């Protein structure tokens, strides 16, 4: 990997929305990416926008149109609100500007289908960080390997639940925690399991919910709306025929391969050889290096790096794509419409 100062070619970038998330997580990523920040645009807090522009040595604009007219941008990063993302994305794409947008990319799948009509040959990537985590990459590696392969089921435990009256909330176009955060575990499930055929969701009297996903390849997925202590808050499990892979708190990956076993006869769990037992991957925290930083562990670097590579190389995105985003939204919406019934995702 290279640092920003080491790249000979850089993307001229504008950022729309420099609130807490963008300031805390996305802007610090510029040190690791081939990006030259040209301008920031902030609608709601002019002082924050101007101070951020001064800090990064770029121009500040209160409106996106003025920014596009004044700057020669290659790409724009959208970190506003889901209510604004669709219009902002279409405006940028129509100007020939590539788009990276934070999640949620829209209020519903219909809005994303509208964006699709504007995309053309521009690069469009959604920041579904859970689909870009190094831990997810390891899960996908085993799920797609000839030696292991054939995922049969996936469990995602994440602290997000359907809102009260989910079907009504969807029909009214309301913003909810489900809209904001269900895309995290759903994007992981789709990244590992593939496209989803049906969704069936059940909501308990205490407000928690469970969603069952039937993948097109025959595997099953479960999204468990977890409750409990504040941290850690998420876990993933991928099950194959003779193996399983566990992801704990995004930074620990455990591959369980089992051992030769005969009930009532096997004497030791430490059988000879290296092809049995479990393997554990986790970042070291002795040195101040990249692989243990949250920006890398949580997938934020990887999502932005993929976007930059596609823009510089003139190739379409293959991860976090608009088509993937539409599928994520459709799964989320199917869960909201389910009310205990099995709902087709792509009907």
Query: Can you tell me the mean pLDDT for 32-39?
Result: 98
Query: Can you tell me the mean pLDDT for 19-36?
Result: 97
Residue 43's Cβ-side half-sphere holds a number of Cα atoms within 13 Å equal to: 12
Contact 333, 196 (CB under 8 A): no
Same domain, 43 and 142: no
Same domain, 140 and 217: yes
Question: How many distinct structural domains can be found in the chain?
Answer: 2
Rounded to 10 degrees, the C-alpha dihedral 179/183/184/187 comes to: 180
28: which DSSP letter? G
Q: Tell me, what's the pLDDT at 231?
A: 63
Residue 113 in domain: yes
285: which DSSP letter? -
Residue 36, CA distances (Å) to 8, 124, 213, 310, 327 in order: 11, 19, 41, 16, 32
Same domain, 53 and 179: no
Query: Can you tell me the mean pLDDT for 12-22?
Result: 97
Same domain, 41 and 101: yes
The CATH code of the domain that includes 113 is: 3.40.50.720
Residue 305 in domain: no
pLDDT per residue as tens digits for the range 99-139: 999 999 999 999 999 999 999 999 999 999 999 999 999 99
Tokens representing 266? 């096997």
DSSP assignment of 176-213: -HHHHHTHHHHHHHHHHH--EEEEEEEE-TTS-EEEEE
Last residue of a domain, one of 105, 122, 139: 122
CA 188, 193, 194, 200 torsion-angle sign: negative
Which residues have C-beta within 8 Å of that of residue 250, sequence separation ≥ 6?
133, 135, 234, 297, 298
Q: Tell me, what's the pLDDT at 232?
A: 67
Domain hosting 145: range is 131-241+285-296+328-344
pLDDT per residue as tens digits for the range 265-293: 988 988 888 889 999 999 999 999 999 99
How far is residue 166's CA from residue 158's CA, in Å, rounded to a whole number? Answer: 18
Radius of gyration of the chain (CA): 22
Residue 144 three-state SS: coil
pLDDT higher than 70, residue 347: no
How far is residue 110's CA from residue 330's CA, in Å, rounded to a whole number? Answer: 9
Residue 226 in domain: yes
pTM of the model: 0.96
Task: State the burial class of residue 181 (Cβ atoms within 10 Å of its Cβ: 0-12, 13-18, 19+).
Answer: middle
Same domain, 165 and 19: no
Q: Tell me, what's the pLDDT at 261?
A: 87
Same domain, 26 and 114: yes
Residue 280 in domain: no
Same domain, 207 and 332: yes
Residue 102's Cβ-side half-sphere holds a number of Cα atoms within 13 Å equal to: 23
The CATH code of the domain that includes 178 is: 3.30.360.10
Same domain, 113 and 151: no
pLDDT per residue as tens digits for the range 43-62: 889 999 999 999 999 999 99
Residue 167 in domain: yes
Residue 311 in domain: no
pLDDT higher than 90, residue 346: no
Last residue of a domain, one of 102, 122, 142: 122
Q: What's the chain's average pLDDT?
A: 96
Same domain, 106 and 135: no
Q: Tell me, what's the pLDDT at 233?
A: 78
Same domain, 92 and 65: yes
Residue 222 three-state SS: strand
Residue 250 in domain: no
Last residue of a domain, one of 122, 145, 180: 122
End-to-end CA distance of the chain: 42
Contact 15, 59 (CB under 8 A): no
pLDDT per residue as tens digits for the range 208-264: 999 999 999 999 999 999 987 766 679 999 999 989 999 999 999 999 998 888 899
Q: Tell me, what's the pLDDT at 228?
A: 77
Residue 228 in domain: yes
Tokens representing 97? 């500007």
Contact 240, 148 (CB under 8 A): yes
Q: What percent of the chain has pLDDT over 70?
A: 99
Residue 100 three-state SS: strand
Q: Tell me, what's the pLDDT at 273?
A: 86
Same domain, 67 and 199: no
């Amino acid at each position: 990997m290279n640092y920003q100062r080491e790249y000979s070619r850089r993307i001229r970038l504008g950022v729309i929305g420099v609130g807490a998330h963008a300031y805390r997580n996305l802007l610090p990523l510029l040190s690791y990416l081939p990006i030259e920040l040209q301008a920031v645009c902030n609608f709601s807090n002019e002082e924050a926008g101007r101070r951020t522009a001064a800090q990064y040595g770029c121009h500040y604009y209160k409106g996106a149109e003025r920014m596009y007219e004044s700057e020669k941008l290659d790409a724009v990063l959208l970190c506003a609100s889901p209510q604004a993302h669709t219009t902002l994305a279409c405006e940028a794409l129509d100007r020939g500007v590539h788009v990276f947008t934070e999640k949620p990319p829209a209020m519903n799948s219909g809005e994303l289908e509208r964006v699709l009509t504007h995309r053309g040959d521009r690069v469009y990537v959604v920041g579904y960080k859970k689909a870009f985590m190094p831990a997810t990459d390891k899960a996908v590696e085993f799920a797609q390997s000839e030696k292991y392969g054939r995922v049969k089921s996936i469990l995602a435990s994440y602290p997000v639940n359907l809102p009260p009256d989910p079907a009504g909330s969807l029909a009214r176009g309301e913003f909810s925690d489900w809209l904001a955060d269900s895309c995290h575990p759903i994007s992981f499930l789709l990244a590992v399991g593939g496209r989803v055929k049906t969704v069936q969701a059940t909501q308990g009297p205490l407000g928690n919910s469970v969603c069952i996903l039937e993948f097109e390849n025959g595997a099953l997925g479960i999204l468990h709306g977890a409750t409990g202590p504040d941290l850690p808050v998420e876990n993933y499990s991928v099950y194959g025929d003779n193996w399983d892979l566990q992801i704990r708190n995004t930074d620990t990956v455990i591959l369980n391969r089992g051992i030769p076993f005969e009930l009532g006869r096997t004497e030791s769990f430490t059988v000879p050889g290296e092809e049995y037992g479990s393997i554990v991957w986790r970042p070291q925290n002795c040195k101040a290096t990249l692989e243990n930083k949250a920006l890398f562990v949580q997938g934020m670097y990887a999502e932005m790096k993929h976007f930059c590579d596609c823009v510089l190389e003139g190739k379409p995105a293959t991860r976090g794509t608009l088509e993937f985003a539409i599928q994520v939204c459709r799964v989320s919406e199917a869960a909201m419409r389910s009310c205990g019934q099995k709902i087709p995702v792509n009907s």
